[in-house]
């Protein structure tokens, strides 16, 4: 009995200190404001979207044509209802955060419109994902089938999430797209900000340690390997809405460990960036850039086909 009294006393003591902390220490609590979107429900929404985008691949039971229409309708209705709710919460939180509570009445309608727009976009997203899967199958000699790519390739998973999260990001939905992308970052080791714009037939080989920043622009038929960073140079917070990340034009290959930084860096089409290269400037189309012990500065030579070769 004495032990119980001491335990109760100690707990009450700590509870009091924690309540003081909630009022005194920063803004790392959310008490009394609009209900925040649920991380778990957002992840569940992504998993349901994944089943819509790749029917039959992530099922517990076999899927046949007879049940496909009803199951797809059921899943889309569930996504519409739950995604609308999570977007609504995110928009309301944003209104409160920026003291725009007079607009909170508009959030419900806007949330429904965005959720409906995403559902209408799914066929187009699925067409893009088909091209991404083909790029992996054709670009990796180890890949034996599209099923292997869809079921097991982390790069394919990360790209699929980006296609959805980027649509929500461009629709100015706060929180939800970042929750989706960071969940997949945790699962795959691939960190693609939902703001990154990625063209068709994108392939990430191996994938671990890849970082693609918010304002990155990637063209069509681009292939990157593990450990590649498409990042930003250090900038002030006030420049957050400026272009901070590189542009990668069509048909570029970037090998493992390469780092390309800054909004002014443009990698011209059909270029090859070698492993462990560090770039903060542009290179023209048809260039090859790789590390060399020859010089600490880039040296431009002309190859037989007229391409630029940069020894770094």
The mean pLDDT of the chain is 90
Beta sheet of 217-218, edge-to-edge order: 197-198, 217-218, 247-248, 266-267
> For position 234, what pLDDT does the model report?
77
Can you tell me the mean pLDDT for 188-207? 98
Query: For residue range 239-293, what is the model confidence (pLDDT) as tens digits?
Result: 667 889 999 999 999 999 999 999 999 999 999 999 999 999 999 999 999 986 4
- pLDDT(296) > 70: no
Strands 217-218 and 197-198: parallel
- pLDDT(294) > 50: no
- pLDDT(106) > 90: no
CA–CA dist 57, 35 (Å, integer): 34
Query: For residue range 51-64, what is the model confidence (pLDDT) as tens digits?
Result: 999 999 999 888 99
CA–CA dist 185, 72 (Å, integer): 27
CA–CA dist 188, 186 (Å, integer): 6
Can you tell me the mean pLDDT for 303-310? 63
Can you tell me the mean pLDDT for 111-135? 98
Is 45:78 a contact under the CB 8 Å cutoff? no
Can you tell me the mean pLDDT for 119-148? 98
- pLDDT(80) > 80: yes
Radius of gyration of the chain (CA): 24
Is 125:165 a contact under the CB 8 Å cutoff? no
For 198-223, give one letter per residue: b (16+ CB within 10 A) or e. bbbbbbbbbbeebbbbbbbbbbbbbb
Query: For residue range 29-51, what is the model confidence (pLDDT) as tens digits?
Result: 888 877 899 999 999 999 999 99
Q: What band does 300 get if pLDDT is binned at 50, 70 and 90? A: very low
Q: Which helix (H) or strand (E) holds 124?
A: helix 107-139
Can you tell me the mean pLDDT for 192-216? 97
Q: What band does 101 get if pLDDT is binned at 50, 70 and 90? A: low
| Structural domains in the chain, sorted by start | 25-190 (1.10.3130.10), 209-312 (2.160.10.10)
CA–CA dist 224, 34 (Å, integer): 41
For residue 291, is it left (φ>0), alpha (ψ between -120 and 50) or beta?
beta
> For position 302, what pLDDT does the model report?
42
- pLDDT(235) > 90: no
> For position 301, what pLDDT does the model report?
46
Q: What band does 237 get if pLDDT is binned at 50, 70 and 90? A: low
Helices (H), ranges, 140-271: 146-152, 154-170, 176-188
Percent of the chain with pLDDT over 90: 75
> For position 2, what pLDDT does the model report?
55
Q: What band does 304 get if pLDDT is binned at 50, 70 and 90? A: low
- pLDDT(309) > 90: no
pTM: 0.89
> For position 160, what pLDDT does the model report?
98
> For position 240, what pLDDT does the model report?
64
For residues 295 and 116, the model is more confident at 116
């Amino acid at each position: 009995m004495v032990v119980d009294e001491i335990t109760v006393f100690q707990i009450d003591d700590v509870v009091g200190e924690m309540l003081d902390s909630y009022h005194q220490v920063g803004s790392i609590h959310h008490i009394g404001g609009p209900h925040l979107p649920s991380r778990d429900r957002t992840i569940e929404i992504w998993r349901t979207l994944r089943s819509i985008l790749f029917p039959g691949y992530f099922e517990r039971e076999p899927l046949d044509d007879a049940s496909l229409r009803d199951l797809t309708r059921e899943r889309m209705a569930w996504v519409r209802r739950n995604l609308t709710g999570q977007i609504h919460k995110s928009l309301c939180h944003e209104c409160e955060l920026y003291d725009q509570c007079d607009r909170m009445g508009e959030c419900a309608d806007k949330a429904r419109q965005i959720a409906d727009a995403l559902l209408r976009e799914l066929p187009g997203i699925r067409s893009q994902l088909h091209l991404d899967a083909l790029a992996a199958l054709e670009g990796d000699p180890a890949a034996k089938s599209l099923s292997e790519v869809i079921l097991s390739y982390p790069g394919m998973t990360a790209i699929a999430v980006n296609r959805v999260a980027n649509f929500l990001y461009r629709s100015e939905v706060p929180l939800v797209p970042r929750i989706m992308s960071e969940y997949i970052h945790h699962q795959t080791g691939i960190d693609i900000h939902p703001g990154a714009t990625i063209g068709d037939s994108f392939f990430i080989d191996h994938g671990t340690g890849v970082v693609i920043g918010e304002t990155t622009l990637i063209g069509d038929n681009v292939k990157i390997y593990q450990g590649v960073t498409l990042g930003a140079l250090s900038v002030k917070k006030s420049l957050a809405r400026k272009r901070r990340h590189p542009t990668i034009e069509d048909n570029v290959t970037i090998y493992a460990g390469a780092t390309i930084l800054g909004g002014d860096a443009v990698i011209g089409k059909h270029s090859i960036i070698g492993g462990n290269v560090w770039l903060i400037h542009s290179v023209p189309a048809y260039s090859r850039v790789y590390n060399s012990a020859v010089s600490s500065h880039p040296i431009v030579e002309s190859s037989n086909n007229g391409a630029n070769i940069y020894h770094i």
